[in-house]
Structure 1
Amino acid sequence: MKARMTMATGLAAAALTLSACGTGGEESEPAPTTTAPSSPAPETSGPDVEVPESAADLVGEWSDPNAEWTVTFAEDGTFSEDFQGNEDFRTGDYELEDGVVSLIGGDGNTDRGSIEGESLSFRLGTLTRS
């Protein structure tokens, strides 16, 4: 019985060690989820499609009327969000890297979304250029 308990304790310790090694001790952020658009998906190829490839390509106003959410990207790398009638609800800096848009808020939170054709898909909703 004592050998079984020692073996079980050793296996549990090994499993905990392996799981801790896999995370590097940092909490992982969940992957961005997407919301299905209520209208047909935009084309993802063709001459009229302007897929953002750099942060400068994001400059302008993007919105999701269903979520009552608008994000304005400025040339200086900052953004402002209007949400459900609250102007400048959140502000901060933005980045675009490898198809991932990061909204780094002055509130300490970072929201990440992905480029899907001409849309930016975040947990809150899917933004299209206004």
Structure 2
Amino acid sequence: MPRKPSIQKLIQDLEPNELREVIKELCNLDPKNKQFLTLYLQNSQSSDIDGVIEEAKKRINKHLYGRSMFPKSDLAGARKTVVEYTKILKDYPILAADLKLYYVESGTEIINDFGEMHKGFYSSMESMF
């Protein structure tokens, strides 16, 4: 069975215009791709890093609370959001840590507001770091 060529090899074989077209298609495919490329290609002064952080926090909150202020506790969705945005923020480790801390703080707030939760809830908070 022949080996598939690596992505790096495929990219090297592309013309600059073809590469630009692939990048445009990736940005159209998923908004997170566009956010990643924006943060990667621009320096922190010109990129909208605060907007990315706020969007991530809103998504985490939506997974934990839903539309109301009663706990929805979609821990898997909230953790997935943290992981996705941590990848986007790979060049900003302090901001990635801030998102992880926000996840734990939000979970702690749920515990304070609504009382004891199941063991998995605590394990999820504990294992974030």
Q: What is the TM-score normalised by the length of structure 2?
A: 0.24
Question: Which structure has the larger Rg over C-alpha atoms?
Answer: 1
Q: Which has the higher helix share?
A: 2
Q: Which has the higher strand share?
A: 1
Q: Compare relative contact order (CA 8 Å, sep 6+) and give the higher one, 1 or 2.
A: 1
Q: What is the TM-score normalised by the length of structure 1?
A: 0.24
